[in-house]
Structure 1
Amino acid sequence: MIRPEDAEFHFSQGSHWQWVETIALPFCVPEANINVIVYVVTRPMLGVCMADVTIIDRITDLWEEQAYVDNQQHMPCPAKLSDFSLPNGLTVRAVDPVNHYQVEYQGIDDTWFKLDYHALHTAYDINDPAMDPLAAKRNGPAWDSSWSGHYEMTYRITGELCVRGQRMAVDCVETGDRSWGPRPERENGAVIWWHVSFGEALTCHMFVQHDIAKTNEFGALISGYILEDGELSGLVEAKGRNEYRRVMPMGGEVSVTDARGKTFDFTFSTVNGCYWAPYPSNTYLQASMRAAHKGLVGTGVQQLGLSRAYLTRHRDAIRQRY
């Protein structure tokens, strides 16, 4: 169960030196084909943090071909996570811890945003068997030690974004997360973090394994949920597949079943995306999606997380397949 105090740090003096705490607060402006990554990775035992603000508006193999990139490593770690400002111009404040964040950013080249994130449900604790139907069967955290504590949250996000002088209103539904635990920068596996939203009426979020070197099919379900008309229900089954351009996901289909026995089928296609590397040991194929479900059209994000150890180990198989 996630509590208000989980908006703060969880480390202690005895924590491993690789202890990491993260905050992911993405948002989008679908009518402008813009998706924005707002991601903070803190390493409190080392006293440093990374923050990334990337504004994506096209499909490309190169991160630097996107509309805006501000990725800064080794800034001072904030003293608290519920209210902090970083040297890159990012300020995050938990007005109602876990449930309501105010996020502001003053970047370069007349680029900035000012946003409110309001939670649409109780934080989804993927390690709590009372909430996640798969949690009781696991021996340890959902993925690896970096998810010793982890929750997802779907937000209604409102405010304003300015990209190189072009101002636009923000009013979207997006899913973010928060993690804490030791995070080694090696052998993080190959996984997909995937979600689609159709306004406040319906969101599907899931986290699955994926062995891209061997197959287009998604692997085992790790965690996920359906948020339908305010009701939160954990996933018990998921299957899907991607179609690829090289290793960029270009579209596919997903079918999930929740703990109520309800099945939801989705198709999706990529509208913008690129390689993204918030820390050097891992690369992510960050793909923003247009999704369809029973005549509804929604938006979402697929992060295909690939450790560089995995990529180099399977480089020939990946090149031959894609």
Structure 2
Amino acid sequence: MIKPADFDFHFKPDSHWQWVETIALPFAVPEANINGIVYLVTRPMLGVCMCDVTLYDKITDLWEDQLYVDNQQHLPCPKSLTEFSLPNGLSFKVIEPLKHYRMKYEGIDETSFDLEFFGLHEPYDCNDPNMDPLAAARNGPAWDSSWSGHYEQTYRIKGELVARGKRYKVDCVETGDRSWGSRPERDNASIIWWHAAFGENLAVHFFTKHDIAKTNEFGELVSGYILEDGKVYGITSARGSQEYRKSIPIGGQLEVTDIRGKTFEFTYSTTNCAYWAPYPAVTYLQSAMRVNHNGRIGYGIQQLVLSRAYLGRNREALLARY
């Protein structure tokens, strides 16, 4: 169970030097095909952090082809995650723990935002057997040591974005996460982190293994939930597949079943995407998606996470397939 104090740091004086705590907060302006991601990777034992601010608006192979990129490594680590300001122009404040946050950014090239995040449910702790139906069968955290503590939360996000001088109203539903634990930067796994929302009363999140070098089919389900009419239901099974242009996901289909035995089917297509490497050991394919559920249209994000070790080890298979 996640408690209000869990939003702040968890490290101890004797924590491993590779201890990492992260905050990931996406937002979107779907009518303009713009998706933003703010990703903070703190390394408190080393006294540094990485902060990435990227705005996506097209499908491209190159991160730098996107609307706006500000990735800064080795910024000073905040003293607290409940309220901080960074030299890159990002500031963050917890107004009500686990329920209400405010995030501001003053960047370059006439780019800024002022956003408020309102939690639509209690955080979903993927390591808690009382919340996640798959947790009890695991021997350890949901993914690896970097997820010794981890949760997702779906938010209503409101505010304003200025992107290269053009103003946009932000009013969307997106899912973010928070994690803490030791995070080695070598030979990480290949996985998919995926979510979509159809307004406040229906959202889906799931996290699955995926061996892209061998198959288009999704692998073993790690964790996930359905948010329906204000209540959260853990996902017990999921299956799906997707098509690719090279290694960029172009579209796919997904079926999930939750603890009620209720099944949801989705099809989706990518609207913007690029390679993204907020820290060097791992490449992400960050994709915005237009998602269909029984004729109802929603929007969401997929992160296809590929370690560079995995890509190198499987380079011949990947070149042959894609």
Same fold (TM over 0.5): yes
* Aligned equivalents of 2:77, 2:311: Cα separation in 1: 30
Question: Match of 1:41?
Answer: 41
Q: Deviations over 1:18-67 (max 9, x none)?
A: 00000001000000000001110000000000000000000000000000
Match in the other structure for 2:299: 299
Offset of residue 97 of structure 1: 1.2
1:18 aligns with 2:18: yes
Provide the C-alpha distance between the structure 2 equivalents of 1:133 and 1:92, rounded to a whole number of angstroms: 33
The residue that corresponds to 1:88 in the other structure is 88
Following TM superposition, by how much is the alpha carbon of 1:127 offset from its aligned partner in structure 2, in angstroms? Answer: 0.3
Partner of 1:222: 222
Counterpart of 2:64 in structure 1 is 64
Distance 1:274 1:280 in 2: 15
Separation of aligned partners in 2, 1:140 and 1:67: 39
Letter in 1 for 2:121: H
2:272 is matched with which residue?
272
Q: 1: CA distance between counterparts of 2:137 and 2:92?
A: 35
1: CA distance, partners of 2:313 / 2:112: 40
| Partner SS state of residue 50, structure 1 | strand
Report the counterpart of residue 150 of structure 1 in structure 2.
150
Q: What stretches of structure 1 move > 3 A for 4+ residues in a row? A: none
Shift of 1:207: 0.2
Q: Could you say which residue in structure 1 is the equivalent of 2:286?
A: 286
Q: Paired residue for 2:167?
A: 167
Q: Which residue of 2 aligns with 1:239?
A: 239
Deviates more, 1:91-100 or 1:254-263: 91-100
Q: 1:54 corresponds to which letter in structure 2?
A: T
Q: Which residue of 1 aligns with 2:256?
A: 256
Residues 258-299 of structure 1 show CA distances to partners (whole Å, capped at 9, x for unaligned) of: 001000000000000100001000000001000000110000
- 1:223-253 Cα offsets, whole Å, 9 max, x none, are 0000011110000000010100000000000
User: Residue deviations 1:190-220, cap 9 Å, x none?
Assistant: 0000001001121010000000000000000
1:59-110: per-residue Cα shift (whole Å, max 9, x none)? 0000000000000000000000000000000011110112111000000011
- Preserved CA contact (<8 Å) 2:253 2:265: yes
Identity %: 67
Contact kept, 8 Å, 2:98 with 2:122, in 1: the verdict is no
What's 2:320 paired with? Answer: 320
1:78 and 2:78 aligned: yes
Partner residue in 2 for 1:308: 308
Q: 2:98 & 2:280 partners in 1: Cα distance?
A: 28
What code does the residue aligned with 2:141 have? P
Q: Which amino acid aligns with 2:5?
A: E
Structure 1: runs of 5+ lacking an equivalent:
none
Q: Is the 8 A contact 2:221 2:237 kept in 1?
A: yes
**Partners of 2:39 and 2:52 within 8 A in 1:** yes
Q: 2:156 and 2:104 mapped to 1: Cα distance? A: 16
Q: How far apart, CA to CA, are the structure 2 residues paired with 1:194 and 1:8?
A: 25
Instruction: Find the residue that maps to 2:58 and give its secondary structure.
Output: coil
CA distance in 2, matches of 1:131, 1:73: 35
The letter for the 2-side match of 1:172 is C
Tell me the secondary structure at the aligned position of residue 319 of structure 1. Answer: helix
Q: How many residues align?
A: 322
1:178 aligned partner: 178
Residues 68-147 of structure 1 aligned to structure 2 (within 5 Å) = 68-147=68-147
Equivalent residue, structure 2, for 1:188: 188
CA shift, 1:307, in A, is 0.3
Q: Distance in 2 between matches of 1:294 and 1:309?
A: 39
Distance 1:258 1:58 in 2: 33
- The corresponding residue for 1:213 is 213
In structure 1, C-alpha distance between the alignment counterparts of 2:28 and 2:74, rounded to whole Å: 27
| Structure 2, unaligned runs of 5 or more | none
SS at 1:311 equivalent: helix
State the Cα RMSD in Å: 0.4
SS of 2:16's equivalent in the other structure is: coil
Amino acid at match of 1:153: Q
